Chain A
Amino acid sequence: MKKASLIKMAAFLAASFAIQLSGAKAALAETAEANYALYCVQCHGSAGTGKGINAPYLAVAPRNHTSDKDMSSLTDDGIALAIKEGGAAVSKSTQMPAWKSVLTDAEIKDLVAHLRKMCKCSFKKP
């Protein structure tokens, strides 16, 4: 066997191993899109504008996640904290629940990145 084909084969093995690894990881954590669709859409709405099916019954309007104006004043850490520990932890309404019982820290981090995409804005630097 030539040296070049040996290297190719090693590269192929390494690549398929990496694919297997990342596949295993995907089975454990849910995507930010899927988490948002089940846990957040009920209040924040399918478009993320705060018009979910529960929104008409909330005393405080859910944040419009697509609004540059509303979202760019928040920091990454502040948003992660609001999702993990709930509105009360960031001096906002308790109508925003704490999601740490269903979402892992890694999933929350993914959600923050997802929210940044939704508002097409960068969040405030701490």
Chain B
Amino acid sequence: MKGKNMKKTVVITALLALVLASSQAFAADGAALVKSNKCDSCHKMTGPAVKTLKEIEARKAPDLFYAGSKFNKDWLVKFLQNPSQIRPAGTVYTNFLKKGEQDTVAEPPKCASKLDAGGAAAVADYLMTLKDASMKTGVAKLGEFSKAKAKMLIIKTEACNGCHRIEGNGGVSCPTFEGIGARLNPDFVYNFVQHPQQFDPKIWMAKRELAENDLQLIVNYIASLK
């Protein structure tokens, strides 16, 4: 290797090391912020998932111990500074139920995170390190798809809108599909829709037997809802 090239390599390696080290430092800051902000007073930050209905009822906020497999990082950075409402009937709808001739729901709380831009970036970096090692990755095949066919499947055949809100219409007992494409990693969507109980054994979304191409159609449609 010539002297000049050598120098270049050294400089690049040093820069790379610096970038790596600083993002790791960021993740460490993030872990400290999660602790000092008491995110774990509402969110479960370590696995495994709960296995009884009693524990589900006691759940205050969604599990975050597989956040790195579930979310898109850019979405996290924005959300943690200014949380939006994702679940119209709260994390566990039974806790916000107003029983009546026609059941309705009380206004549920939003996430309490109020991080500044730097803090949100650090916490997002940390959350992205919390992976579900058993989740299949590289499975979502995004590309051209028929939106009409996807809607037919989601609204008519599988009736996902019975529980999920889609384009301003649909059920309220679980997360809205509004902006879901920006929020979720397509590989997570693939894995979750294929078998919801693999993440959360007592979750109130039933598993469906879906053909691979129907599953990909759903994943593509959901990814397009930004």
Contact = CB atoms under 8 A, between A and B. Distances in A.
What is the size category of the interface that chain A forms with chain B?
20 to 34
A94 interface: yes
B93 A53 contact: yes
B173 interface: yes
A94 to B, nearest CB: 5
Nearest to A86: B206
A43 B161 CA distance: 12
A53 B53 contact: no
Given A51-B102, A53-B104, A95-B159, A38 B53 contact: yes
B154 to A, nearest CB: 12
Contacts of A78: none
Q: Name, among B100, B195, B206, B207, the residue most crowded by chain A CB atoms within 10 Å (CB to CB).
A: B206
Interface string A40-72: 011101110101111111110000000000000
Contact of B208 (A42, A93, A98): A98
A32 to B, nearest CB: 11
Interface string A68-112: 000000000000000000100000011101111110000000000
A39 interface: yes
Contact of A101 (B53, B89, B207): B207
B119 interface: no
Interface of B: 52-53, 56-57, 89, 93-94, 97, 99-105, 157-159, 161-163, 169-173, 195-197, 201-204, 206-208
29 contacts: A38-B94, A38-B202, A46-B97, A47-B99, A47-B101, A51-B100, A51-B103, A53-B171, A53-B172, A54-B163, A55-B102, A55-B103, A56-B102, A57-B171, A57-B172, A58-B171, A59-B159, A86-B206, A93-B159, A95-B159, A97-B208, A98-B207, A98-B208, A101-B195, A101-B196, A102-B201, A102-B202, A102-B203, A102-B207
